Amino acid sequence: MNSDLNVSFELDGKTVEVQAGETLLAACRKTCTEVPTLCHDDRLDPYGGCRMCLVELEGAPRPVPACKTTAAKGMKVTSQSPMLERVRRTMAEMLMTEHTSGNGVQVDGLEECAKELGVGAMPIKFENPRTWEDRNRFLAFDPGACILCDRCVRYCDEVMQCTALEHVGQGSEAFIQPTDGASFLDTSCELCGGCISTCPTGALYEKQATAPIAETEATRSVCTFCGVGCVLDIHTKDGKVVKISSEEGSGPNDGHLCNKGRFAWQFIHHKDRLTHPLVRNAQGELEETTWEIAYSRVVEGLSAVKKKYGADSIGFLASSRCTNEDVYALQKLARSAVGTNNVHSCAAT
Amino acid sequence: MEEIENTDCMLVVGSNTTEAHPVLALRMKKAMRKGAHLIVVDPRRTWLAERAEVHLQLRPGTDIPLMNAFAYVILEEGLADNTYIENLTENFDEFAAAAKEWPPERAAELCEVSADDIRKAARLYAKTDKAGIYYTLGITEHVCGVDNVRSLSNLALVTGHLGRESVGVNPLRGQNNVQGCNDVGNNPVYFPGYQEVADPEAHAKFSKVWGKELSKTPGLRLDQMMDGMHDGRLKAFYVMGEDPVVSEPNAKHVESGFEQVEFVVCQDIFLNETSRIYADVVLPSTCFAEKDGTFTNSERRVQRVRKALDPPGEARADLQILHELAAALGDDWGPADPETVWNEFADYSPRFFGIRYPRIETFGLQWPCPELDHPGTKFLHEGAPMRGKGKFYGLDHVPAWEEPDEDYPFLLTTGRTLYHYNAATQTARSEGHMDKQDRCFVEIAPADARDLGIEDGSDLKVESRRGVITVQAKVTDAVHPGVLWMPMHFAEARANVLTGDGKDPEIGTPEYKVTAVRLLT
Ligand code: SF4
Ligand code: SF4
Ligand code: SF4
Ligand code: SF4
Ligand code: FES
For chain B, 521 residues long, give each residue's pLDDT as a single digit of tens: 677 888 899 999 887 788 888 898 899 999 999 999 999 998 888 889 999 999 999 888 888 899 999 999 999 999 988 888 888 888 889 988 988 999 999 999 988 999 999 999 999 999 988 888 988 765 666 556 777 888 888 888 888 888 777 788 887 776 678 788 888 999 899 999 999 999 999 999 999 999 989 999 899 988 889 889 988 899 999 999 988 887 777 778 888 889 999 999 999 999 988 899 999 999 999 999 999 999 998 888 999 999 999 999 999 999 999 999 999 999 999 889 999 999 999 999 999 999 999 999 989 999 889 989 988 887 765 444 455 678 888 787 777 777 788 888 888 887 777 666 555 566 666 676 666 666 778 899 998 889 888 888 888 888 888 788 888 888 988 888 888 888 876 655 566 767 766 666 566 666 566 788 888 87
| Residue B32 to residue A138: CA distance in whole angstroms | 28
Q: Which of B184, B236, B308 sits opposite A301 (nearest CB)?
A: B236
Q: Which residue of B has its CA nearest to A239?
A: B309
Q: Collapse the DSSP code of B24 into the 3-class scheme (helix H, G, I; strand E, B; otherwise coil) and give the result.
A: helix
The reported pLDDT for the residue numbered B347 is 93
CATH number of A102-107+123-207: 3.30.70.20
Residues B188, A334: C-beta atoms closer than 8 Å: no
pLDDT of the residue at B412: 85
- CATH classification for the domain delimited by A3-80, as one of 3.30.565.10, 3.30.300.30, 3.10.20.740, 3.50.50.60: 3.10.20.740
pLDDT for B428 equals 60
Question: Domains of chain A: which residue ranges?
Answer: 3-80, 102-107+123-207, 210-273, 278-348
Sequence-distant (≥ 6) Cβ neighbours of residue B317 within 8 angstroms: B285, B286, B290, B291, B311, B336
Classify residue B304 by its DSSP letter. Answer: E
The partner residues of A178 in beta bridges, in order of sequence, read A165
The DSSP 8-state label assigned to residue B300 in this structure reads: S
B246-304 pLDDT, tens digit per residue, is 777 777 888 888 999 999 999 999 998 889 999 999 999 999 999 999 999 888 899 99
Identify all chain A residues contacting B192, using CB atoms and an 8 Å cutoff. 328, 331
Residue B238 is predicted with a pLDDT of 96
Given this model, what pLDDT does residue B383 score?
42
C-alpha–C-alpha distance, residues B478 and B44, integer Å: 5
| Predicted local distance difference test score (pLDDT) of residue B423 | 53
The pLDDT tens digits for A69-106 are 999 888 998 888 999 889 888 888 888 888 877 778 88
Q: For residue A272, is pLDDT > 80?
A: yes
Give CA–CA dist A258/B27, Å, rounded.
Answer: 13
For B:12-31, CB contacts with A below 8 A are 20-24, 26, 29-30
Give yes or no for a contact between B150 and B64, defined as CB atoms under 8 angstroms apart.
no
CATH code for the part of the protein at B178-366 = 3.40.50.740
| Residue type present at position B449 | A
The CA distance from A140 to B173, in Å, is 33
pLDDT at B384: 45
Helix (H, G, I), strand (E, B) or coil at A295: helix
Domain B410-520 has CATH 2.40.40.20: yes
- A 10 A CB-CB count for A330 gives 30
The radius of gyration computed from the CA coordinates of chain B, to the nearest angstrom, equals 24
CA A15/CA B85 separation, integer angstroms: 49
- The interaxial angle of helices B92-100 and B145-159, nearest 10 deg, is 110
Contact A328/B184, CB-based, under 8 Å?
Answer: yes
Burial (0-12, 13-18, 19+ Cβ within 10 Å), B403: exposed
Q: Which of residues 242-301 of B touch A (CB under 8 A)?
A: 242, 244, 247-248, 262-263, 265, 268-271, 275-276, 279-285, 287-291, 293-299, 301
Mutate to test the pocket of ligand 4, among B1, B18, B23 (most ligand atoms within 8 A of CB): B23
Q: Maximum CA pair distance of chain A?
A: 91
Q: Domain A210-273 class?
A: mainly beta
Instruction: Please state, in angstroms and rounded to a whole number, the distance separating the CA atoms of residues A314 and B329.
Output: 14
Q: Which of A317, A338, A340 to mutate to test the interface with B (most CBs of B within 10 A)?
A: A317
Quick check: A256 and A194 in contact, CB under 8 A? yes
Instruction: Choose from A134, A208, A290, A322 for mutation: most chain B CBs within 10 A.
Output: A322
Nearest CA to ligand 2 atom 6: A195
Q: A323 pLDDT band (50/70/90 cuts)?
A: very high
CATH node for B2-172: 3.40.228.10
Using alpha carbons, list the distances in angstroms from residue B133 to B4, B162, B166, B170, B393. Answer: 10, 10, 9, 6, 17
Q: How far is the CA of B425 from the centre of ligand 2 (A)?
A: 25
Among A137, A291, A344, whose Cβ lies nearest the Cβ of B188? Answer: A344
Q: How far apart are CA A278 and CA A275, in angstroms?
A: 9
Domain ranges of chain B: 2-172, 178-366, 410-520
- Whole-angstrom Cα distance, residue A314 to residue A330? 13
B162-189: b or e for each residue (b if 16 or more CB lie within 10 Å)?
bbbebbbbbbbbbbbbbbbbbbbbbbbe
Q: Find, among B113, B133, B112, B126, the residue nearest to B73 by Cα.
A: B126
Inter-residue contact B14 to B41 (CB < 8 Å): yes
CA distance A247 to B70: 42
Closest chain B C-alpha to A82 CA, distance in angstroms: 39
C-beta atoms surrounding A269 within 10 Å: 14
Closest CA to B55 of B47, B264, B470: B47
Say what percent of chain A tops pLDDT 70: 96
**ipTM at complex level:** 0.87
Could you report the per-residue pLDDT of A188-242, keeping only the tens digit for each? 888 999 999 999 988 899 888 888 888 899 999 999 888 889 999 999 999 999 9
Return d(Cα A66, Cα A72) in angstroms, integer: 12
Q: How far apart are CA B153 and CA B387, in angstroms?
A: 13
Q: Which residues of B453-484 are buried (b: 16+ CB within 10 A; e: fewer)?
A: ebeeeeebebbbebbebebebbbbebbbeebb
- Concatenated DSSP letters of B154-210: HHHHHHT--SSTT-SEEE--SSTTHHHHHHTT-BTTEEGGGEETT-HHHHHHHHHHT
The confidence score (pLDDT) of residue A280 equals 94
- Of B41, B86, B90, whose CA–CA distance to B63 is shortest? B41
- Identify whether the C-beta of residue B501 lies closer than 8 Å to the C-beta of residue B253: yes
User: Hey, is the C-beta of B222 within 8 angstroms of any chain A C-beta?
Assistant: yes
The length of chain A is 349
Burial A245-258 (b: 16+ CB within 10 A, else e): bbeeebbbbbbbbb
Which of B237, B241, B257 lies closest to B249, judged by CA?
B257
pTM for the predicted model, two decimal places = 0.86
pLDDT at A40: 93
**Separation between Cα atoms, residue B42 and residue B56, nearest integer Å:** 6
* Cα distances (angstroms) measured from residue A198 to each of A186, A192, A229, B30: 22, 12, 20, 17
Q: Answer whether B189 sits within 8 Å of A341, measured CB to CB.
A: yes
Q: Which of B348, B51, B10, B334 is nearest to B190 (CA)?
A: B348
Q: Which amino acid is at B476?
A: T
